[in-house]
Amino acid sequence: MKLIKSLLIFLPLLILASCGNTANPSGGKKKIVVTTGMVGDAVKNLVGDIAEVEVLMGAGVDPHLYKASQGDMEKLSKADIIVYNGHHLEGKMTEVFEKMRRNKPVIPLAELVHENRYQRAQEGSNMIDPHIWMDIKSWSTGISNLREDLIDLFPNDSAKIESNHDQYQKELIKTDYQIELLIGSIPTNQRVIITSHDAFRYFGLNYGIEVKGLQGVSTVSEYGLRDVSDMVNFIVNRKIKAVFVESSVSDKSLQAVIEGCAKKGHQVVIGGKLHSDALGAEGTPEGTYCGMLLHNARTIQKALK
């Protein structure tokens, strides 16, 4: 794995840093800087109080478009460890991470997910759809591998990390089951999530719900009039009741779809706001990974049942 390569180069440094305690050279706890809230939730739950974790992208931030500010660049360069999503989710940060990988561990969590759980971004494309956190079962395979990487980095705290990991996995299994029940209670012909960009494919596969997005897997791609009219026809034919706005993406494209349906005499409403690529605000139930997915499942169930 990539981490192993970076570890080989920096093994001497790591041995120094891990002698006897988990402190960084300045004496405090080691600092782990992460990109998205979903990655942050996993890292925080695994390390507990062993290290400090700072999340760069707060509520409503779109990782596809995210560019690090000068302040964020400083945080990244001062970090002892960086954990990010990967598979080009943070498309504009690839070079920065490649550079930083030369002198510290830089770990892409979504790239630690078991390969057989990957979905292609498009048919025939080599690109992997990066939105793997949407399927708890797949995401949790990455979290198990992240645990191993963290144990390598904090060998003295391996027992703590193992027990934190067990606890977190239990919460993930419980949430996964709750979501299955919620989505399973929607009538089969209404089981469709329509959003502006394609972030819900893994969610759809895991929980048995069809998924349609106007844009591709990245918000960078454009949508055209053809996409809008295809979507309108689909909604009218299937008598779909609701479409969903995403917290980190503009709803302009969906408004065009709603108007198009109205012209054809079918009323479709906005069923609520889903969190696709960012968690909700800190301190709210949607501010955690499991809380965010549960919020999505409840919103979808309420609008389509």
What is the binding site for Zn ion (CB under 5 A)?
199, 277
| 48 vs 58, beta carbon nearer Zn ion | 58
| 29 vs 117, beta carbon nearer Zn ion | 117
Backbone phi, psi, residue 289, to 5°? -60, -50
Closest CA to 173 of 85, 290, 38: 290
Minimum Å distance from CB 74 to Zn ion?
26
- The answer to whether the Cα torsion of 256, 260, 265, 268 is positive or negative is negative
Minimum Å distance from CB 152 to Zn ion?
30
| 220 vs 269, beta carbon nearer Zn ion | 220
Minimum Å distance from CB 66 to Zn ion?
11
Minimum Å distance from CB 130 to Zn ion?
7
| 14 vs 211, beta carbon nearer Zn ion | 211
| 30 vs 131, beta carbon nearer Zn ion | 131
Minimum Å distance from CB 168 to Zn ion?
23
Minimum Å distance from CB 121 to Zn ion?
10
For residues 236 and 247, what is the distance between their CA atoms, to the nearest angstrom?
25
Tokens of 162: 């193992």
| 21 vs 125, beta carbon nearer Zn ion | 125
Minimum Å distance from CB 277 to Zn ion?
4
| 5 vs 120, beta carbon nearer Zn ion | 120
CA trace torsion 262, 266, 271, 274 (10° rounding): -70
